[in-house]
Amino acid sequence: MTQSENLPPGVVSKLFRELQSIESDRIDGVRLVREATLPAGADSLSEIVADVSGPEGTPYEGGVFRMKLALVAEYPAQPPRGYFCTKIFHPNVSERGEICVDTLKRDWQPTYGIRHILTVVRCLLIDPNPESALNEEAGRLLLEDYEAFAAHARIWTRVHASPRIHVSTAGAADGGAPDADAAAETKKAPDTSPSPATTTCPDASSKDPLRQVMRNTGSPLREKRRSLKRL
Instruction: Find out whether 115 and 208 touch, Cβ atoms under 8 Å.
Output: no
* Residue 22 pLDDT exceeds 80: yes
Strand order in the sheet with 30-32: 30-32, 47-53, 64-70, 81-84
Q: Which residues are catalytic?
A: 100
Q: Which domains does the chain have, with CATH numbers?
A: 9-230 (3.10.110.10)
The terminus-to-terminus CA distance of the chain in angstroms comes to 49
What count of residues does the chain have?
231
Q: How many CA atoms are closer than 13 Å to the CA of 184, on its beta-carbon side?
A: 3
Rounded-to-integer distance, Cα 96 and Cα 148, Å:
22
Report yes or no on whether pTM surpasses 0.75.
Answer: no
Cβ–Cβ contacts within 10 Å for residue 40, how many? 5
Task: Give the pLDDT confidence score for residue 44 in this predicted structure.
Answer: 67
Rounded-to-integer distance, Cα 154 and Cα 78, Å:
34
Query: Model confidence at 34, in pLDDT bands (50, 70, 90)?
Result: confident
Q: What is the mean pLDDT of the chain?
A: 77
Q: Is 9 helix (H, G, I), strand (E, B) or coil?
A: helix
Q: How many CA atoms are closer than 13 Å to the CA of 188, on its beta-carbon side?
A: 6
Phi and psi at 143, nearest 5°, equal -80, -35
64-117 pLDDT, tens digit per residue, is 999 999 999 999 999 999 999 999 999 999 999 999 999 999 999 999 999 999
Rounded-to-integer distance, Cα 32 and Cα 18, Å:
11
Average pLDDT over every residue of 178-200: 40
